Amino acid sequence: MSKFFEGNITRDVELSFLDNGMAMAKFGFAENWKTKGDNPKETSSFYNVVAFGKLAENIAQSLAKGDNVGIDGRLEVNKYKKNDGTEGTSVDIIVNFIGPSLRFAYAVPVKNERAATRGYTAPKYETEEETF
């Protein structure tokens, strides 16, 4: 089941490649939210985020620590062994879709080469200030 998250990237994107050549991007993410009730408090939930394939490559080229993003993905709970021998639990978001939040910044989409080779031509955008 997919869920939407909005928050900030907390660690720079690490791009690596699996044995089969598929790209994998990993980074930290914090979702900030306010509790409800008589005494609301702001709190954060922290996640590891993982993406694969061309999406991973595009993330590594486009996003960095501190960026505010929206993520559509699924949660995956993983158990691991800590250095002290005890068992730990991590909650990862496996990305289906990600994009910069346009609440605090603007973005100019640039098609990657693969889209261009399929005969796709990016539309031209014009504003009063400049032409893209």
Greater confidence, 13 or 126?
13
- pTM summary value: 0.76
Contact 64, 13 (CB under 8 A): yes
pLDDT of residue 114: 61
Instruction: Give strand ranges (E) for the chain.
Output: 3-9, 14-17, 23-34, 42-52, 68-81, 87-100
> Structure tokens of 115?
């889209």
Cα–Cα distance measured from residue 79 to residue 96, given in angstroms and rounded to the nearest whole number = 22
Mean pLDDT over each residue of the chain, to the nearest integer: 86
Q: Sorting pLDDT into bands at 50, 70 and 90, what band is 121?
A: very low
Query: DSSP secondary structure string, 87-121?
Result: EEEEEEEEEEEEEE-TTS--------HHHHHTT--
- Summarize pLDDT for 97-118 with one digit per residue, the tens: 999 998 888 888 888 776 544 4
Percent of the chain with pLDDT over 90: 62
More confident residue, 105 or 129: 105
**In this structure, are residues 92 and 59 in contact, taking their beta carbons and an 8 Å threshold?**
no
Nearest alpha-carbon partner for 33 in 62, 13, 4: 4
Q: Does the pLDDT of residue 44 top 70, yes or no?
A: yes
CA R_g for the chain: 18
113 token code pair: 């080469």
Q: How many CB atoms lie within 10 A of CB 10?
A: 16
